[in-house]
Every structure is written in C-alpha cells, then in structure tokens.
Structure 1
Amino acid sequence: MLLSLMYSSVRAQTEPVGPTVSIPDHPRILLLAGEEQPIKRSIVADKTWKNLHQAILAESDKLTSEATLERIQTGRRLLAVSREALRRIFLLSYAYRMTGQPQYRQRAEKELLAISAFSDWNPSHFLDVAEMTMAAAIGYDWLYADLSPASRIAIKEAILKKGLEPSLDAKYNSWLNATHNWNQVCNAGMLYGALAVYEDQPELARQVINRGLKTIVLSMDDYAPDGAYPEGYGYWGYGTSFNVMFISALEKVFGKDFGLSQQPGFLKTAGYLANMTGTSGNSFNYSDAGTGGGLQPAMFWFARKLNDPSLLWVERSRLQQAELGKVGNNRLLPATIIWGNSLSLTNVPEPKSRIWVGGGKSPVALMRSSWTDPAGIFVGLKAGSPAVNHAHMDIGSFVMDADGVRWAMDFGMQDYNSLESKGVQLWGKEQNSQRWQVYRYNNFVHNTLTADNQLQVVESHAPISSHSGSPALMNATTDMTAAYKGTLAKAYRGVAIVDQAYVVVRDELETLPKATTVQWTMLTPADVKITAPNRAELTKDGKKLILQVQEPAGISLKTSSTDPPHDYDAPNPGTTLLTFDVAMPARAKGAITVLLLPEKAAGKVTKKVQSLAQWPK
C-alpha cells in the first residue's frame, strides 16, 4: 500500500498536469467568460469580422428549424453525423454567447440531448467518437450555466460513457500510436471531453489530458523539418485544425501549450498551407483531397501566434462577401473569429516569397509568378512516396494554373464509402494491393511518368533535390529513381517557371539493360486539340494554353478518355488525358522537355532549356 502511494505521488509529480493544478470555471474551452467583449469590439470595428459574425448568426437561424440529428450510420462510419453535430452545436453556442438570445441556447440544448441519447457514438471508428465528444463538450461547457440540471446530467454522462471511457479500451484506441490525423483528431476530441467534465472527474480528466500530451507528439513528428504535411491539403485541414484546437484549448485553460507548438516544423506548416492554393483558387490537391479549397480557421491561430498577417493572404479572400455563403458548412467556423478577431484583415500584406519548398515524408515545391496577378502562373510539384498515409502513386506529379485556369490537374480522392461498399480493399499499401487498381490512385492518370506500363514502387521515396527562386528560372527538381526501380536506371524531373511567363517540365532518364517505353501524362479539364505531332492547343473558360514537346523528336501526342475501367470507380466527366510515348533503347540516356505556354507567352520562347544540372540552385 505504501509503495503504491509512493508510486502515485511520483507519477503525479512527473506528469504535466498534476492534482494541484487549478483550472477556470465554465466556460473554459477556447473562450473564457467575458472574452466575448473583444470579439464584439472587433465586429464593430472591422467589416470583415462583422460579416463573418452575421454569417454565423444567419446559419444559426437556419438551424433553429432543422430536425435534430439521428444516429444514421453510413457503412462503417457515423462521421457525417458527428461532424454535423459539431457544426451545429459550435455555431449555436457561439450565437448564444454573443447575443444571449434564448432560441440559440434552446436549439443547441435540444441537439445536445439528441446526441446524448444515441446508443453509442460508434467507437469502432473512433473519429466519430472524437468529433461527437468535441461537439458535446463545447455545448456543455459554453452553455453550462443555463442548461437545466437534467440536461447537464445527461450530456455529462454521454461525454463520459460514450466518449472518454471507450478511449480507455484497447479495442478502440489504437489511434494513440498513430502518426497521422487520427491521433490529432481523437486526442483533441478526448481533451475537450476531459476539460468539460474536469471538476466532476478530475482523475480521469487528468489521465486523458496527460495521455494526449504524451501521444499527440507522435503525429506532430510528421511536420518536421519544414512543415509540409504528408497527407496533403485536405487532411491538413483535418489533422492540423484539430491539433490547433488541442493546443488552443490547453493555452486557454493552463496558460501554456507544454511545448507542443515548438515541435519541429509545426509553426512552419502555416507557410505550407498559405502556398498550397493556386492562382485559379484551387488547392494543390495531391493524395486524398478534394479539388477545391476552403476556409482554414487554423490559419488565423498561426497568423496570430507568428505575428504574420501575410499568412492570411488566401484566407482573407475566403471571407470576402462573395465567398461568405460558402463558409457556413465549416464546422470550426467560430474558431476563426475567436483566433483571428484581434487581426485586421483590411491591409493584409502579400507574402514575401513566391516559392515554398518543404521536405519530409511528402516533399513539395510550390511556385508562382505573382501573388497579386489573378492571371499569374502557379505550379506545384509533388515528390515523396506512395507509402505515406492517404498517398497516391503520384511521385513527380504536378499541377499548373495560368490565366485563372487549372490546366494540369489532379483528380484527388474518391469517396471512401463508394469504394468500401463495393468490397474494395482500399487501405492496403502493399505493391499488389487493390488500392492501386482504383483508377484515381495510380500513376497512369497522374501528371507523371509511367515506365513499361508498370506501377510506381510503393516502398520508394523521392526527395526534392534542388530548388531556386530565381525570377529567370524559378524551379525545383526531384530524383524519382526509386519510384521506377526495375524499369529505369535513373529518373529525374525538374519543373520551372521561366521568366515568370511559362512553364517547363523536363525529365532526364537512363534505361536499364533493356529497351523501355516511357509514357508522359498530363490530366486536364480543358478541351484539347492536337495541332501537330508535338503540339496541342488547350482551351477552357475562354482562355488558351499551348503544350509543346520540345524533345525528343518523333513523338505523337494523343488524347484518351478518362472513363474508368471498374464499376467501383467514380466517373470523371469533363477531363482528358494528354499523353505521348517515348521508346528508349537499352542502356540509353534521354531527355523529355515539355513547354506549357499561356496564350500571351506563345511565340515568345527564346531560351533553350538547359540540362537539370545547369538549373540555378
């Protein structure tokens, strides 16, 4: 007994949050009592914040007449319901705290009781539990003083029995060892639940909080060294947002984040996200991501933390009047104004650099000719590995914007349930996994190379080898050789913006002791007209782009349909594959050079494209 007490005492002293720690009364999550006042002052002083505040209230007004949520599972997920619960309760709770109008509190309470009455929150897919727990915790904490005693008991019991307690069951908590977004999202949801019920269950709450502090760093290792998020734009918006929700809640309750924001690369990831949207307004949607972009509330936390409003160059545009109607579906929307209200969005300076390069598991290079010209050029180059969580076989792939059009595109993800419901084994990462038969996921339809009609090698990694921000040849290169093991001896790719006017994609290849056929591919949403064997004219939205193959000679451009081969594949209307083949003899060296010329640059190409070794670094 004495040894046990001594052990408990030592353990309490070594854990970050011990029994002597005091925390604020409700409300304590993200926004303390009285902290509505600075937000109200910002709403009066800044039109952008006023418009966002009004948009939240308008959305909350709509919610007052909606039917309450039901426990309707889609395949193995309850996630859509959990996310809608978080959206509704966060918006309505914000509306009540900012206005005091009882209809918002009554509607939020009704929603909280509905989800509390669910049989469970689907712990077999724990993301569902995490988001539902966060929803319940915010509502319980923010409305605590005005909830009926019976409601408090019901909601608190649900947080405990359907949220926190399942997280202690080894059957459901493998996410504690994950190095991807599950770790971030689940730990955030559990932290919110623990903070909400802290005074009633202090020992359990501290156990959950300390566990989160210990394990969330596993996923944060992925930001090293430069902040490039391995899972891409879409999952940055998921994993990083919930990581920031985790840190922000700690800062508010404990006055510190226990060193989390100083994890290598984490604060730098704001630069990654700020550069991931092209001049077309679309994100660089490699891996499992959607084709568009959207408001990222976490960027307002980063901008304030780093005192760098230029990080909001893209986000500000999402809050302009024309875009406001699109933000209501963002379930973390109130966090935008909580984190950002002290920042003026009137004169956001443009970012200082037009190139951003990051290493790590999924290295990328992001380049543009201008931040202010909507017709400017944007190019994103993806290196890395298909073995990364949510990755595709897209090593060497690129996207390209000019004149406000995305000319070279990426399909991005297909809805998971549409594949799983048809029996597709989507999550295998072996070389022969069914995942790589899904049309959108393999290298045959990405803007990269295919050698001898073979898949890229899953257990490979391509670094960004060099890069330069030179205005004459802004560029990045990658060594893709490992991705073509068994089909090519060497494979290097460089992508450049030349004189801020057009784009060059150059590949330098060496073959093995066997003849090899290499296919060059570009996926486009444009109409394609082949005007010569080595030249194609692309048109979209009244704009024009010329694709010209400078070398090798003797190639023949062709177009092919994007109709997929399997009944489980999603349709791809309005897209075309533009390809050509290069037959290379055994033990040969060769180069492929392709120019992408916006209409105003056509006819102005005077420079000979040099070898990659001669590109500025």
Structure 2
Amino acid sequence: MILSLDPARIRLSARSSSTGRRYAAAVLQAASDIQTAPLLELEREDGRDVILPTSRKLIDRVATLAIADCLTGGSTHRRRAIREVLNAAAFQSWNPAHFLDTAEMTTGVALGLLWTRPLLSRTERDTMATAIVEKGLSPGLAAAAAGAPWMTAENNWNIVCCAGMIAGAAALEGADKEVRDAALGCFVPAIDHGLRAFGADGGYTEGPDYWEYAVRYAVLAQAFMKDLGIGPDAPAALLNTWRYGRGLTGPSGRMFNFGDATEEPRRSPVLGWLANRTGDPDAMAWQHAAPGDPHPFDLLWCAPDLETASASEGPVAYEPAGIAVLRNGTTWLALKGGRNDVNHAHLDLGTFVLEMAGQRFAGELGRENYALPGYFDRARRFGYFRTQTAAHNILLIDGAEQSFDAYATLLGTGQEGENRFVAYQIFDGERRSVWRRGAALADGGAVFIVDELEAGNGPLPRATWQVYTQATVTLDGARAKLALGDVMAEAEILEPAGLVWSFERAPSPAGESSNAAFGRLFFDVPASREAQSITVRFSLAGDTGTWKPAAIDGWPLGT
C-alpha cells in the first residue's frame, strides 16, 4: 500500500537481512541530517527557471522522515515532514510553466498529506489539500484542456506529469471530490501514452537518467492506481524494465551514458516494487546489487535478500530502444542503434562504450549543460559539440554529421560457442553509402568493432574511425597501448592494412563543458571505389588470442 504506511512491515524489512539493515541505517542517518537542516527554500537549476532541485528534495525528505518514524516509532520525524510540506504548500506557485516541477511538487505534498494524516490538524490537512488542488491539479487540468504536448508525449514528460496528478488526486480522499474525479478521469488514461516508451523487453529510448526518472513515476502511478482499485494492470513492458537498467550498468557500476545521460549509477528506488510484482529472483537480487545510493522506497518495497545474480552472459538487444549489450565477466560492451529524432538523443548512431577488467577504455563525453542557449531548440541543439556525431565513438563518414532523421535497424544478435555478436545497419537519407556496424566479443575477452561500407552511386568517401578514452595512450603504428589505473589494454587496427593510429586531446569549445579528461584516438580511412571493411580489436595486455570474426553477413545473427 502506498496510500498508507505499514510500520510493522517496514521494521520487518529493516531487520530481516543485511541489506534491509543497510537501508534502514541510511534512512535514519538522512532523517537526522534533515532535522538539523533549514526548511527547503525555492531553489532553481543554474541558468534555468526550473525548480526541480526543490521538488526532488521535498519528495526525498518526506519519504525519509515518514519511513524513519516507522523504524523508530513516535512522531518526531513526521512532524518535521509536516513542516516541510506546509512550507512547500506556501510557495507562491509550483512553476506550472515547466510542468514537471508542478507534478513533482504535487507528488511530494501528496505523500506528505497521506503519510502524516493521523498527526495533522484539520487546518493543516486543509492547507495541504488546497495547495494540491490550486497549485497542482487545477493547473494540470487546465494544461490538459489546452492541449499540453506532454499529455500525448511518449516520453518521461507524460509519465511524470500524469503520475504527479494521479498522486495528488489520490491524496484528496474525502475532499474536493469533483476535482479528484476529474483528475483521475483525465490522467489515468493519458499515462498510457508515456508507457508506450517502454519496449516489450523493458527497453527505453531516452537513456539511463530518463529511464530511471520515467520508471520511478510509472511505478508510483501504478501503485496509487492499484491502491485505489482503478486503471489497468501494470504492463509487462514496465515489469520487465529492471532488466534494461541492469543491462545498461557496466561491471564498474557506471552507466552507458548515451545522449543526455551521465555515467552516475541510475539506481531506481522502485526496483523492489518491480521485484515483488514479478516474483523474479533475479529482479529481487538486482534491487540489492544495483549500484547507487539506497532510498526510503527500498524499505517501502523490499524484496527478499537473495543471492546476487549475475547479469545475462548472452548477447541482448533492447528494441525499439536501440541498445545492445555484450558481456562476458568483466568485459562489457554497449552499442547504440535506435533513432536520432527521439527525446534527449545526440547524433550518435553506432557509438559504444567498452569496459575491460573494471576500467572504461571507450567512454562517452556525456550530456551538455542544459542552460546553454537553445539547447532544447532543434535548430541550435546540434551546434554544441557534445551532441554532434564528431563527439562520439563513431565512424565519421566524409566528415559529415549524421542527420536528425537517421536511424538504425538491428540486424540481430547471436552466439557461436562462447563468441557473441550484434550488428546494426545505419540508414541516413543524406548518405548514399551503406554502413553496417557490428561488435563481436570473443571467448577470451577480446572485443572487435567491425564496420562495413558499401558504395551507392559513386565511390566511397573517406572516413574517420574514432574513440574517446580517458586512458593514457601510447602509439605504435597500427597498435595503441591504453593504460587506466593498473590495467593495460591494446587497440589494434586489423583492417584495412597499413593504417596507423593518431591521438589528440578532445576539443573543449569555448563556453561549453570541458572535455579535458578525454583524448581522441583515431585513424583515417582513404576513399575507395570498392567496399570497405574496417576492423578494430580491443584486448587486455597479454591476450594472445588469434580468433577474429568473419564478415558480418557470416555472423550467427538471429532477429
């Protein structure tokens, strides 16, 4: 139940396992820190009129304080939560111009009203309910009536905004029935649009940061609707999505940070809800093994503490999200297909990240500063370096940017013995040549990136193969030695023959984020009148394996 807390169950979760005790210790420490901190003030993102820093702190504070009281008994922490919620209720507005802010603030106040209700005076209860109606639900219903784009968007905006409105309506039990019913009637069916962003396999197009954001609110909406006895059952795509989060997490604990994403572990606080709904032992194990900070929701929905399960060793592709993963022990490669026109995407079809022995030898530069002028304006967004094709681990064909309309189709994944394969074909209407990019992970741990180019009308243009790395690089013709920490690796150009590596520091254009931690390892491929095959082998130092993959059309690729 999310409409009310069950202290006995939460205390049982806290004492039944070592992970439960770890979650409880983190909650109690955070609650103690909140008690000595000032009440929240309206805080905006640097350079943007967005109050998400405030709304997120409010939700975390309310959840932390309420769960802490369940652990300790008494009402000290929930009384502080009441002060936080009344303080937020008094803000002049919850910034409806950026409706994510309003949705999150509504969620925080709704949880506060629900989880502190037994301690509230009538005046306090009415103040919270009035704020939910006047600063949350009424602006939400007005936006819906005006045709707000997020009402039908198939991305995080729809899920978060609708979930926040569902939470606000759920908290109004016994009050403002007309507004409550109107909100549930509007936003319960509307959230189906956002849930379409999850593929049947649980994949999600917007990258790990927005995956975590979307799945958190999708689960909150499902939990509220289940408690209210309304709405459809949770779709299988949502129940499966924990696998996608696990797949995007490298052995180092860092994420595949494609598009507007970061490497920071995106540990979802609703993994326990997903695990309990599916009953999958691997999902239960992943709640406790996933890297990142624990959250009070881990005790609200705490799965049994099972033996940690390893991620799937077979090749996995998430479609239509357009992400494929090859993994063997501590060697892990994530390859990007998908589309360039999805929300938060860069022009980066074919980019990849690679970890070996716990070190990330091929990395992504990551997201740019959202406050840069026009960053979310298509006409200006791709003028910033980090969003451009040249900023990614890519085959840059004739020095040209990929187009916004470019897309990749999965040719398949497969396994032959212990060798694993995945390949995409990348289509770009502005390019006449055919480009296939595949990756193969050998039994011994070597990784091969294979690019195949075929001419359309006329010869193949020149191309540049490149990868960004934080390693210390030493060049030796067609070989490059890469050192990270105490791990040594090697990148070798297998074909075309006779090419050599070059290396330079990654550019950092003025006014944009610094890329000084990265270097660009690259080689140029001359123009050709015949089809080109380009193969690069990554391996750990001392790897003496001689196997190499055949042409992509000879790979054991299923669909």
Shift of 1:352: 5.0
2:467 corresponds in structure 1 to 522
Shift of 1:400: 0.6
Distance in 2 (alpha carbons) for counterparts of 1:499 and 1:247: 42
Retained in 2: the 8 A contact 1:471–1:498?
no
2:129 corresponds in structure 1 to 156
Shift of 1:471: 4.3
Residues 90 and 390 from structure 1, CA distance in 2 versus in 1: closer, same or farther, beyond 3 angstroms?
Answer: same
Retained in 1: the 8 A contact 2:166–2:188?
no
**Structure 2: tracts of 5 or more residues without a match:** none
Residue by residue over 1:126-156, the C-alpha shift from the partner in whole angstroms, topping out at 9 and shown as x without a partner, is 0101111100000111101101222222211
Residues 1:615 and 2:558 aligned together: no
Shift of 1:346: 4.1
Matched ranges for 1:329-348 at <5 A: 333-340=295-302, 343-348=303-308
Give the superposed CA RMSD.
Answer: 1.9
1:37 corresponds in structure 2 to 8
Residues 1:114 and 2:54 aligned together: no
Distance in 2 (alpha carbons) for counterparts of 1:258 and 1:411: 40
Residues 1:98 and 2:71 aligned together: yes
1:388 corresponds in structure 2 to 342
Residue by residue over 1:54-111, the C-alpha shift from the partner in whole angstroms, topping out at 9 and shown as x without a partner, is 2101101100111111123342201111111111112112222333333212211111
Distance in 2 (alpha carbons) for counterparts of 1:384 and 1:162: 38
Distance in 1 (alpha carbons) for counterparts of 2:147 and 2:121: 32
Shift of 1:460: 2.0
Distance in 1 (alpha carbons) for counterparts of 2:271 and 2:75: 32
2:270 corresponds in structure 1 to 298
Shift of 1:402: 0.6
Counterpart residue type for residue 323 of structure 2: V
SS of the residue 2:301 aligns to: helix
Work out which of the residue numbers 142, 146, 150 in structure 2 matches 1:175: 150
Residues 1:259 and 2:233 aligned together: yes
Counterpart residue type for residue 25 of structure 2: Q
Residues 314 and 399 from structure 1, CA distance in 2 versus in 1: closer, same or farther, beyond 3 angstroms?
Answer: farther
2:164 corresponds in structure 1 to 189
Residues 347 and 73 from structure 1, CA distance in 2 versus in 1: closer, same or farther, beyond 3 angstroms?
Answer: closer
Residue by residue over 1:197-246, the C-alpha shift from the partner in whole angstroms, topping out at 9 and shown as x without a partner, is 13111222122112222111111112234221010111110011100111
Retained in 1: the 8 A contact 2:315–2:422?
no
Shift of 1:500: 4.1
Residue by residue over 1:533-586, the C-alpha shift from the partner in whole angstroms, topping out at 9 and shown as x without a partner, is x1100001111110000000222211122232232x100232111111101224
Distance in 1 (alpha carbons) for counterparts of 2:444 and 2:206: 29
Distance in 2 (alpha carbons) for counterparts of 1:41 and 1:599: 49
Residue by residue over 1:410-459, the C-alpha shift from the partner in whole angstroms, topping out at 9 and shown as x without a partner, is 12212312x1xxxx212233xxx321121111110211111111110211
Distance in 1 (alpha carbons) for counterparts of 2:264 and 2:43: 28
1:51 corresponds in structure 2 to 22
TM-score in terms of structure 2 length: 0.95
Residues 1:240 and 2:240 aligned together: no
1:454 corresponds in structure 2 to 400
1:222 corresponds in structure 2 to 197
SS of the residue 2:516 aligns to: coil
Retained in 1: the 8 A contact 2:155–2:343?
yes
Residues 1:553 and 2:497 aligned together: yes
Work out which of the residue numbers 469, 478, 484 in structure 1 matches 2:424: 478
2:35 corresponds in structure 1 to 64
Residues 1:428 and 2:359 aligned together: no
Residues 542 and 351 from structure 1, CA distance in 2 versus in 1: closer, same or farther, beyond 3 angstroms?
Answer: closer
Distance in 2 (alpha carbons) for counterparts of 1:531 and 1:257: 62
Retained in 2: the 8 A contact 1:478–1:493?
yes
Work out which of the residue numbers 193, 198, 201 in structure 1 matches 2:173: 198
Shift of 1:318: 4.5
1:18 corresponds in structure 2 to none
Distance in 1 (alpha carbons) for counterparts of 2:52 and 2:212: 16
Work out which of the residue numbers 368, 372, 384 in structure 2 matches 1:414: 368
Distance in 1 (alpha carbons) for counterparts of 2:444 and 2:7: 46
Distance in 1 (alpha carbons) for counterparts of 2:453 and 2:41: 57
**Structure 1: tracts of 5 or more residues without a match:** 1-28, 328-332, 371-375
Retained in 2: the 8 A contact 1:364–1:464?
no
Work out which of the residue numbers 339, 356, 360 in structure 1 matches 2:316: 356
Work out which of the residue numbers 272, 279, 283 in structure 1 matches 2:251: 279
Retained in 2: the 8 A contact 1:63–1:88?
yes
Counterpart residue type for residue 137 of structure 2: L
SS of the residue 1:241 aligns to: helix
Retained in 1: the 8 A contact 2:159–2:217?
yes
Residues 1:379 and 2:333 aligned together: yes
Q: Percent identity?
A: 27
Work out which of the residue numbers 437, 440, 452 in structure 2 matches 1:508: 452
Counterpart residue type for residue 341 of structure 2: A
Retained in 2: the 8 A contact 1:490–1:509?
yes
Residue by residue over 1:320-342, the C-alpha shift from the partner in whole angstroms, topping out at 9 and shown as x without a partner, is xxx7xx44xxxxx22222122xx
Shift of 1:378: 0.3
Residues 252 and 59 from structure 1, CA distance in 2 versus in 1: closer, same or farther, beyond 3 angstroms?
Answer: same
Residues 188 and 608 from structure 1, CA distance in 2 versus in 1: closer, same or farther, beyond 3 angstroms?
Answer: closer
Residues 1:142 and 2:101 aligned together: no
SS of the residue 2:10 aligns to: helix
Shift of 1:309: 2.4
Residue by residue over 1:147-172, the C-alpha shift from the partner in whole angstroms, topping out at 9 and shown as x without a partner, is 12222222111111111110011358
How many residues matched? 552
